[in-house]
Amino acid sequence: MQRQGRASGQDANAEADNTAEADNTAEADTTAEAGTTAEAGMTAVAPADTVQPPFPDADLMYIVDLLPSDEQLRYQEVREFLQSRIRAASIDYWNREEFPFGLLAELGKYGLGGLQTDGTSKLFKGLMYVEVARADVSLSALVGIHNELIVGMIDQLGSEEQKARWLPGLTAFTQLGAFALTEPEHGSDIAGGLETTARREGGEWVINGAKRWIGAGTIADFALVWARDVADQQIKGFIVETDRPGYTATKIANKIGLRIMQNADIVLDEVRIPETNLLPGATDFSKANELLRDSRAWVGWQGAGIQLAAFDVARSYALQRKQFGKELARFQLVQQQLAEILGNATASLALMAQLARIQEDGKLEMAQAAMAKSTTTRLARASVAMGRSLLGGNGISSDYEMGKLFGDAEILYTYEGSYEINSLIVARAVTGKSAFV
């Protein structure tokens, strides 16, 4: 399938090449006349707001073409919606740290609540994560956690009754779950250090403890709480409805990134749930670890998406903003930054496309997911820093989107296992030596 982006990219390329030729001639010739030619070349570039730049979707390596044609069509449809409806609208919500319930319903209409169970390919699901992140990183966190860790856990580890009760609302995005693993005193060492307890009393479980940073903790219908069974010391997964007595969630305010996502401090004080709220597939942590491996890979996709967003903003700005009488895009140092941001983004995408192949074959290991996550988020941090400087002072303001991306990149770098911990997982796999426990 020939995408519009590629076709117009080629046309515009031809135009750009002609212009470049005119510039070369000017450079070679030192006469005043040559100067005029150079100027003519400059004016040959149409204003950025009237003409789409070459490769408008920035997919230079045709990664999207790897999808089958039906998924390419769906991809284009969702991408268009995200760009037109979500991207600009998200900035105000981000500034106000407010959750856009209306936009969530629209994401649901485009099927983004059911990516885990709708049978689409791993590459399609990944590219959806890329495009949501490109429109807004907070909403991509919501979509990713929702699919990978909430729908995924219930679908794969839940009872038939739990699936029937929750999956229809979740996949339609009319209901939300929160994934509650991290605690105030345990982040990187959560698997060994988890302190929240579950005590069995008659036909009930009684949960006590505290959780920190829990996405959607204040707005979700239930939290998937990980607690240590006092009887056998195993970490188990429980569905805790958020209206149960003893459950309190307090929004964590003043975050520098992911400001739309409502992260919460949660206290569980003698919260009683029926024994049927235990996920039967999550009676120790090993199964959850498999899903956490996949969700780590999801952050790898986010790392690619945020860089494409940074590239979009940087390119558009460079084509419009003029200094010294010409567009920033005509200065070599600016061009280098654009090329580096896009190179980083494309390397990230290509890495993730290969990860999707491995995942499709059922061969994804934690070290590969950790490598993908740590690499794309490291590159993302570098890319948004370049984008930030390319916008000069305006790069500081979220009004120009780049400031928003700059803050959001910090979260990708740290959550789902910090950059350092993921690097240590990779290095452990290739040396056979653990440097962190």
Ligand X SMILES: Cc1cc2nc3c(=O)[nH]c(=O)nc-3n(C[C@H](O)[C@H](O)[C@H](O)COP(=O)(O)OP(=O)(O)OC[C@H]3O[C@@H](n4cnc5c(N)ncnc54)[C@H](O)[C@@H]3O)c2cc1C
For binding to ligand X (CB under 6 A), which residues are involved?
145, 179-182, 187-188, 213-215, 255, 258, 263, 411, 414-418, 420-421, 436
- Residue nearer to ligand X on the CB measure, 32 or 253: 253
- Closest distance to ligand X from the beta carbon of 144 (Å): 10
- Closest distance to ligand X from the beta carbon of 168 (Å): 23
Residue nearest to ligand X (CB): 187
- Residue nearer to ligand X on the CB measure, 123 or 178: 178
Structural tokens at position 18: 């002609």
- Residue nearer to ligand X on the CB measure, 54 or 177: 177
Tracing tokens 């942590």 back to the chain, one arrives at 285
- Residue nearer to ligand X on the CB measure, 256 or 350: 256
3-state secondary structure of 264: strand
The CA distances from residue 215 to 34, 45, 58, 185, in Å, are 60, 46, 31, 17
- Residue nearer to ligand X on the CB measure, 41 or 152: 152
Residue 97 Ramachandran class (φ > 0 left, ψ -120 to 50 alpha, else beta): left
The CA distances from residue 125 to 118, 147, 159, 367, 400, in Å, are 10, 10, 25, 21, 28
State how far the Cα of 165 lies from the Cα of 97, in Å rounded to an integer. Answer: 31
Report the amino acid identity of residue 53: P
Residue 191 Ramachandran class (φ > 0 left, ψ -120 to 50 alpha, else beta): alpha
Q: Would you report the helix, strand and coil content of the chain in percent, each value rounded to 5?
A: 60, 15, 25
State how far the Cα of 161 lies from the Cα of 279, in Å rounded to an integer. Answer: 10
- Closest distance to ligand X from the beta carbon of 77 (Å): 29
DSSP code of 277? G
Alpha carbon dihedral 42, 47, 48, 51, in 10-degree steps, equals -110
- Residue nearer to ligand X on the CB measure, 6 or 255: 255
- Closest distance to ligand X from the beta carbon of 434 (Å): 9
- Closest distance to ligand X from the beta carbon of 191 (Å): 11
- Closest distance to ligand X from the beta carbon of 426 (Å): 13
State how far the Cα of 8 lies from the Cα of 13, in Å rounded to an integer. Answer: 8
What phi and psi, each to the nearest 5 degrees, are found at residue 352? -70, -35
3-state secondary structure of 177: strand
- Residue nearer to ligand X on the CB measure, 62 or 436: 436
- Residue nearer to ligand X on the CB measure, 247 or 317: 247
- Closest distance to ligand X from the beta carbon of 177 (Å): 10
DSSP code of 100? -
- Closest distance to ligand X from the beta carbon of 108 (Å): 20
- Residue nearer to ligand X on the CB measure, 41 or 217: 217
- Closest distance to ligand X from the beta carbon of 198 (Å): 16
The CA distances from residue 246 to 171, 206, 241, in Å, are 28, 10, 11
